[in-house]
Amino acid sequence: MKRWILLGTAIAFELVGTMALRASQEHRGWLVLAVIGYVCAFLGLMLVLRTGLAIGVAYGIWGAVATAGTAALAAVVFDEPLTWPVVGGIALIIVGVVFVEMGSHSPEEQSI
């Protein structure tokens, strides 16, 4: 359970960093928050990996959730378009991450 809380926290920091990076295009002051967000995100990912979660699974989940979260937040905060092709692409990423996670278990853990 701890690893998932850590991963969720790392993803949240990544989203903060990404949104601040976008905001810094108009106001440079946001760049400080972007750097802090990314540093905290990668420190969080390091802690997640120390719990034994495979890098392929951790980074895959991170990528999928961060991509979906960034698209959704950008649509709300910055009025960026969230089109059906974007939503479909995000859905495909999530499906891919599910397959990566399923494949990360040893054959003894997998049952058909």
Angle value at C-alpha 87, between 83 and 93, nearest 5 degrees: 145
Full-model pTM: 0.83
pLDDT digits (tens, 9 = 90+) for 64-96: 899 999 999 999 999 999 999 989 988 998 888
The mean pLDDT values, 10 residues at a time, for the chain of 112 residues are 95 98 95 98 97 90 92 94 91 85 66 51
Give me 97's structure tokens. 């991450």
Residue identified by tokens 């540093």 is 39
